[in-house]
């Protein structure tokens, strides 16, 4: 979930929607197709979900998807705990349900946290193994243990500690919705919402693992199935009000999602402002998401597209490198009032892009890095520099 969406969720922002995370809409899956080619190292899917009349969104918003833990993972946890699944427990709202249902759609059994270890250790204070993974002195050891592991590993490694299924509600976090950037304009697709999802799959500690929501979308959301969803407003990631304002969009990988929505919106509206998109992935033949649609926009003169396919040549090339190559033109657009958007990985990409942007500003203005920082601060104040990073 992005920085922006977390802030908005905490503030309780959003449309006055009939459906919410606690009262989701059970949407029909209309389209679910892999858009990376066979041989790609990534499985990226385009998903289209039906909307009920009256459900509305704006480009920049997110769709909240409420996943379930996969049946095989639930079975593995039950086996590790020594339960059948028909045991009765009270959920977070004090509603009585089966343990199987709790593990399927109430509790997070995936990615293991230190908090889960700490709570489990409270059930067996004298357990030497658990004691060795708790407390400030053992933080690094606990983090090392958590890496690549899930609750099933903890339950397997420390059997018999959980003596009552109800204890799991103290050990495990609540299963929460996953927020995905919307990759469609409702003006182009009135009755549906689209999103672009990278399915996370990996092997660790002798088990096959997968992302909870992405795995649900990748394996158990065929066309015709239903998915509980809600729409979430994101007023901090918006197109400029003036459709003649240029936009520069940096969206490698699934970071392209909101920019597909932006481009569709501006196309339908007949916006006259220039549209620049920097898109990056590993290989052009395998990972060029929405290639036909984007190249069609280029052909129509609607879009200027810069691509960076890191593995297509000996030296890796990324979106920030393309920004540097086009530094002069980027600065000229900024001087024309362009809005600059970044979506995707917060840890490295967003930082590298910001450095390339600052460098472009410094070069273009014959200024110092200090001047470039002031220029960028002014853009932020004007809401011309917007990020949706996670």
Per the CB < 8 A criterion, the answer to whether 291 and 36 are in contact is no
The average pLDDT across 207-216 equals: 95
106 vs 15, higher pLDDT: 106
Count Cα atoms within 13 angstroms, Cβ side, for 103: 29
376 pLDDT exceeds 50?
yes
Q: What percent of the chain has pLDDT over 90?
A: 95
14 pLDDT exceeds 70?
no
Coil/strand/helix, residue 119: helix
Which residues, in sequence order, are CB contacts of 301 under 8 Å at separation 6+?
Answer: none
Per the CB < 8 A criterion, the answer to whether 258 and 183 are in contact is yes
Nearest in space to 120 (alpha carbons), one of 134, 137, 141: 134
Query: In the CATH scheme, what is the homologous superfamily, with its name and number, of domain 3-64+179-232?
Result: Translation factors (2.40.30.10)
- In the structure, what pLDDT confidence band is assigned to residue 16 with cuts at 50, 70 and 90? low
Going from the C-alpha of 20 to that of each of 27, 107, 189, 297, the distances in angstroms are: 13, 19, 21, 35
Nearest in space to 318 (alpha carbons), one of 250, 384, 386, 261: 250
Q: Which residue has the tokens 């600059």?
A: 340
Q: Please report, for the chain, the start and end positions of each structural domain, with discontinuous segments joined by +.
A: 3-64+179-232, 71-171, 247-389
pLDDT in tens, 270-294: 999 999 999 999 999 999 999 999 9
Query: Are 3-64+179-232 and 71-171 equal in CATH topology?
Result: no
Nearest in space to 55 (alpha carbons), one of 12, 15, 22: 15
- In the structure, what pLDDT confidence band is assigned to residue 5 with cuts at 50, 70 and 90? very low
Phi, psi of 266 (to 5 degrees): -70, -30
Using CB atoms within 10 Å of the CB of residue 238, give its burial: 0 to 12 exposed, 13 to 18 middle, 19+ buried: middle
What's the confidence (pLDDT) of residue 17? 79
Going from the C-alpha of 205 to that of each of 12, 69, 117, 201, the distances in angstroms are: 39, 19, 17, 14
What's the confidence (pLDDT) of residue 189? 98
Q: Kindly state the tokens that stand for 133.
A: 């993974």
The average pLDDT across 41-66 equals: 97
260 pLDDT exceeds 70?
yes
Which residues, in sequence order, are CB contacts of 81 under 8 Å at separation 6+?
Answer: 155, 162, 165
- Gap between the Cα atoms of 32 and 46, Å rounded: 6
- Gap between the Cα atoms of 27 and 37, Å rounded: 27
- Gap between the Cα atoms of 85 and 101, Å rounded: 8
15 pLDDT exceeds 70?
no
Per the CB < 8 A criterion, the answer to whether 149 and 204 are in contact is yes
CATH number of 247-389: 3.40.50.80
Give me the chain's average pLDDT, please: 95
- Gap between the Cα atoms of 257 and 47, Å rounded: 11
Q: What percent of the chain has pLDDT over 70?
A: 96
Q: Kindly state the tokens that stand for 361.
A: 């500003």
DSSP class per residue in 228-296: EEEEE--TTS---SSTTS-EEEE--GGGGHHHHHHHHHHHHHT--S-EEEEEEES-HHHH-TTHHHHHH
CATH number 1.20.990.10 is the correct assignment for the domain at 71-171: yes
pLDDT in tens, 158-206: 999 999 999 999 999 999 999 999 999 999 999 999 999 999 999 999 9
Which DSSP letter does residue 205 get?
A: T
- Gap between the Cα atoms of 68 and 104, Å rounded: 6
The average pLDDT across 369-387 equals: 97
Q: Kindly state the tokens that stand for 110.
A: 């995936």
Nearest in space to 306 (alpha carbons), one of 327, 285, 331: 327
Which DSSP letter does residue 166 get?
A: G
């Amino acid at each position: 979930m992005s920085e922006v969406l977390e802030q908005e969720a905490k503030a309780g922002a959003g449309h006055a929607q009939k459906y919410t995370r606690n009262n989701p809409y059970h949407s029909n899956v209309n389209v679910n197709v892999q858009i990376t080619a066979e041989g790609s190292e990534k499985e990226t899917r385009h998903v289209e979900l039906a909307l009920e009349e009256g459900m509305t969104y704006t480009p920049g918003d997110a769709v909240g998807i409420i996943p379930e833990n996969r049946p095989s993972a639930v079975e593995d946890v039950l086996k590790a705990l020594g339960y059948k699944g028909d045991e009765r427990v009270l959920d977070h709202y004090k509603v009585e349900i089966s343990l199987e249902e709790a593990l399927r759609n109430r509790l997070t059994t995936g990615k293991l946290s230190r908090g889960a270890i700490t709570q489990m250790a409270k059930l067996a204070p004298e357990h030497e193994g658990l004691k060795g993974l708790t407390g400030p002195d053992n933080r690094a050891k606990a983090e090392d243990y958590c890496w690549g592991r899930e609750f099933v590993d903890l339950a397997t490694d420390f059997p018999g500690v959980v003596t009552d299924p109800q204890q799991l509600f103290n050990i495990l976090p609540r299963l929460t919705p996953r927020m995905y950037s919307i990759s469609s304009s409702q003006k182009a697709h009135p009755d549906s919402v689209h999103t672009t999802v990278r399915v996370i799959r990996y092997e660790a500690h002798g088990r096959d693992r997968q992302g909870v929501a992405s795995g649900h979308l990748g394996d158990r959301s065929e066309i015709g199935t239903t998915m509980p969803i809600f729409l979430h407003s994101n007023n901090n990631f918006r197109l400029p009000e003036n459709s003649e304002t240029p936009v520069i969009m940096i969206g490698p990988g699934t970071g392209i999602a909101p920019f597909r929505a932006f481009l569709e919106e501006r196309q339908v509206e007949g916006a006259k402002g220039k549209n620049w998109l920097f898109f990056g992935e590993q290989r052009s033949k395998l990972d060029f998401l929405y290639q036909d649609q984007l190249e069609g926009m280029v052909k129509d003169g609607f879009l200027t597209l810069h691509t960076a396919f890191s593995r297509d040549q000996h030296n890796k090339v990324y979106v920030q490198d393309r920004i540097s190559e086009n530094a002069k033109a980027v600065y000229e657009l900024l001087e024309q009032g362009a809005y600059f958007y970044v979506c995707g990985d917060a840890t490295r990409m967003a930082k590298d892009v910001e450095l390339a942007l600052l460098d472009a500003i410094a070069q273009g203005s014959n200024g110092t890095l200090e001047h470039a920082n002031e220029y960028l601060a002014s853009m932020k104040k004007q809401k011309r520099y917007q990020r949706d990073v996670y």
